[in-house]
Amino acid sequence: MVTSDRDWGGWRVPGSEYDLDPFRVERQAKIIVRAPVFRKLLEEFVQHAEQEPENLSDDLVKLAQLARRVISETAE
């Protein structure tokens, strides 16, 4: 995975670690690649929660609070 448009390198795993569990490493790489999509999903959920708070169950209110925290902790 390339981590920057101007970076020739990218995300790397030492060969010895990759040899231990290549499926785990591949799964982690797929999660990293999809991180922007996950963040967008959280942002849209929070936006919906803020627009219609009266339509949220208590469980969804807690999830929206968690989503806000995750977004704020990963702010660019």
Say yes or no to pLDDT of 49 above 90: yes
Say yes or no to pLDDT of 10 above 70: no
The verdict on residue 28 lying in a domain is: no
The average pLDDT across 28-51 equals: 93
The verdict on residue 48 lying in a domain is: yes
The verdict on residue 73 lying in a domain is: yes
The verdict on residue 66 lying in a domain is: yes
> What string of H, E and C letters represents the secondary structure of 19-72?
HHCHHHHHHHHHHHHCHHHHHHHHHHHHHHHHHCHHHCCHHHHHHHHHHHHHHH
Say how many domains are in the chain.
1
- Residue 29 has a pLDDT of 85
Which structural domain range is residue 53 located in?
36-76
The verdict on residue 14 lying in a domain is: no
The verdict on residue 46 lying in a domain is: yes
The verdict on residue 59 lying in a domain is: yes
The average pLDDT across 55-71 equals: 95
